[in-house]
Chain A
Amino acid sequence: MAKSESELTWKDIEVGCIATEPGSAARYKCGDWRSQRPTYDFNKCIKCGLCQIFCPEGCIYQNEKGHFEANMYYCKGCGICAKECPTKVITMVEEEETDVNKNGD
């Protein structure tokens, strides 16, 4: 399945909509309808990993500096990470249409 979802025609759909490629669901962009996004003040981060454990989307990864950060292709903006972070690293801010299009593509 080389085509992206938006390029698929009805003729490209596998019989019965069967997904023949394991893991292809990872391509599904579920972060395109969030209304808020997490922002970070990494100076306060103690790298405890609680945000990663609590994130219902499983989209928080450690970046090269060891800080925990959301992959915006998948983040749904629920704010659970911000609520759970013990040192208040994360602040949720209003999402903007343009940001959604810029990030995670």
Chain B
Amino acid sequence: MSTKTGIEVSIAIGEVVKLTDADVIAAYPITPQTHIVEHLAELVSNGELNAQFIPVESEHSAMSACLGSAAVGARTFTATAGQGLELMHEVLYVASAMRLPIVMAVANRALSAPLSVWGDHSDVMATRDTGWIQIFTENGQEVIDNTLCAFRMAEDKRVLLPVMVHLDGFHLSHMIEPMLLPSQEEVDRFLPPNQYPLPLDPSKPLAMGDFGPPIVYTEAKWAQEYNLLNSRSTILEVWKEFSKVFGRNYSPVECYRCEGCKVLLFTMGSFSETAMSAIDNLRNQGIDVGLVRLRLWRPFPFAEVRNAFKDAEVLITLDRALSAGGPGGPVSSEIKSALYPLEKRPKVVSFVGGLGGRDINVSGFEEMVKRGIEISKTGSSKEYEAFGVRE
């Protein structure tokens, strides 16, 4: 039986990682991820979690240590944020290409400069093409549920890929919420032991991370890409199994009051819950609008995205990251390209906002929807709108 507990989200992640009986945690503390690794260090030091805690000297080393640990078949967890995720960037590609099942919580943070410890999705978007499975979450419960699911997805023999669970820095990482913490019995029932098929083993020598000359590189990358695309069915299966044990459902794209709406708002991460309240208010004002939220960022859920938007006339998107000098929001631009082949597709109005911890409150989202509807009628010379910039 899960226990309803009032707990900080970061601490709850540590508790769930403890329940998975992780073998190795290699991490470097960085705001706003710090409480996650601090709590895990405590659990290891007081004997509650029998794991190796490797207090590395940088995030580059953290991810490198995770490679080695996952390669011997150890259940491996790490966490980072913002600049830390950037510092481990080159190793992220190695983890996915070597098909190592590492689970990482990312407390999403803006990138410097100017120096910001506050939340947005700049760090997420910089890792978009690293080959990791990436999941967005909206509240503490979703964070811990998906952390648990991430281990099962990553370690499944049909997948064998690293997984990032994104939680908004501060808005989620430092929030104290009532959550249903799973019991050891439930976790054991849901999560089978990690059995990496080709672990480093002196009695069966093998070489990992070899070089790939031009004659095999293309084949190696395609094998990896095929596998990432194919992981989709296992991801769905894991969420289904999760729902059987815990009764909570997750899917790649989730809708809130969307049925029959001609106008849809699209968000990801913790802002989605604020957006839901805005949707309720707008519906009370007689504006026919629903909300679609992105859960699975990679592999990108093309079918679900097309299905969610196929009957809409106006789609208003909010990205919390900027593709500098480009089309604005990275997620919005992918949505547009996913919709392009459809014969009938909505007009897309893209907003970029909520950068570097800037809040968007309920009335902010109401304003965004109204402005989006207006732009859809009048048109705009801009590729996207910067939301909330003081002129």
Contact surface of A with B, Cβ cutoff 8 Å: 5-6, 8-20, 22, 25, 28
Contacts and interface: CB of A to CB of B under 8 A. Distances in A.
A28 B211 CA distance: 11
B160 A16 contact: yes
A9 B208 contact: no
Given A16-B99, A17-B98, A5 B223 contact: no
Query: Could you say which of B97, B205, B219 has the most chain A C-beta atoms within 10 Å of its C-beta?
Result: B219
B198 A6 contact: no
Contacts of B210: 17, 19, 25
A11 B216 contact: no
26 contacts: A8-B219, A9-B219, A10-B219, A10-B223, A12-B219, A13-B220, A13-B223, A14-B198, A15-B197, A15-B198, A16-B99, A16-B160, A17-B97, A17-B98, A17-B212, A17-B216, A17-B220, A18-B207, A18-B208, A19-B208, A19-B210, A20-B198, A20-B206, A22-B207, A25-B210, A28-B213
A6 B160 CA distance: 26
Interface in B196-230: 197-198, 205-210, 212-213, 215-216, 218-220, 222-223, 226
B198 A10 contact: no
Contacts of B220: 10, 13, 17
Contacts of A16: 97-100, 160, 198, 208
Interface of B: 97-100, 160, 197-198, 205-210, 212-213, 215-216, 218-220, 222-223, 226
Contacts of A9: 219
A62 B389 CA distance: 75
Q: Is the interface of B mostly helix, strand, loop or mixed?
A: loop
A63 B108 CA distance: 63
B223 A11 contact: yes
Contacts of A8: 216, 219
Nearest to B221: A10
Question: 3 tightest A-B contacts by CB?
Answer: A16-B99, A10-B219, A19-B207
Given A14-B198, A16-B100, A18-B208, A6 B223 contact: no
A82 B269 CA distance: 65
Contacts of B218: 10
A19 B207 CA distance: 5
Nearest to B226: A10
A77 to B, nearest CB: 18
A22 B222 CA distance: 24
A17 B210 CA distance: 7
A10 B25 CA distance: 33
Contacts of B100: 16
